[in-house]
Amino acid sequence: MAEQSTGWEGILDAGERIIWQGRPDPSFHVSPKKLFPTLFGLGFAGFALFWMAMAAQSGGGFWMFGLIHFSVGLWLTGNSLFGESLRHRRTWYTLTDKRAFIATDFPWKGRQLDSYALTPATRLSLRGGLPGSVIFAREERRGNKGRRYMVDIGFHRIGDAEKVYELMRGVQRAHGAEAEA
């Protein structure tokens, strides 16, 4: 059981207590789902570089218009390779005897704290591996052009995923017992 951390005053309900805190593994890793965006970004940057080289041969400064596309290609590549690791370095997880919290602090978004109630109806999913993940919610998000897609919400890439999964199941059982009483 974790000590009550300072800074949680006014956030936790009366009697609510922290039972686990952790962070995602920030180490660099590449997942198969990042292959297409990485290759697309490299192709985009490569074509822009080729275009700039050809445009520079005709003289003048017209080739500089390719810098925008080259930069976008590099950003797409860098974000798909390093973005997730950078996001994990700015993320903190907390589990209480009632809720799961995900806190983030990004320079471009500021601080954000999301809370997810844990009830007997909460669907938990343990994703194995080292590090593993515990998924406890799904959210619909909007992409560009209004496309919608589902995102798994949970404690991603944590070293003690099995332990956290069991703690969450214990929270569910406790809430189930309260409901029956």
Categorise residue 159: left if φ over 0, alpha if ψ from -120 to 50, beta otherwise: alpha
The predicted structure's pLDDT at residue 7: 63
Lookup: tokens for 129: 């591996």
**Which residue would you say has higher pLDDT here, 45 or 177?**
45
Lookup: tokens for 147: 């496309």
Lookup: tokens for 79: 């974000």
Residue type, 127: R
Give the model confidence (pLDDT) of 154-164 as tens digits.
999 999 999 99
CB-based contacts of 49: which residues, under 8 Å, 6+ apart?
66, 70
**Which residue would you say has higher pLDDT here, 30 or 140?**
140
Quickly state the pLDDT bin for 145 (edges 50, 70, 90).
Answer: confident
Cα gap 142→139, rounded to integer Å: 10
All structural domains of the chain with their residue ranges: 32-85, 92-180
Give the Å distances, CA to CA, from 60 to 36, 56, 63.
35, 7, 8
Please indicate, yes or no, whether the overall pTM of this predicted structure exceeds 0.85. no
Give the model confidence (pLDDT) of 39-85 as tens digits.
999 999 999 999 999 999 888 888 899 999 999 999 888 888 777 77
Mean pLDDT of 86-104: 91
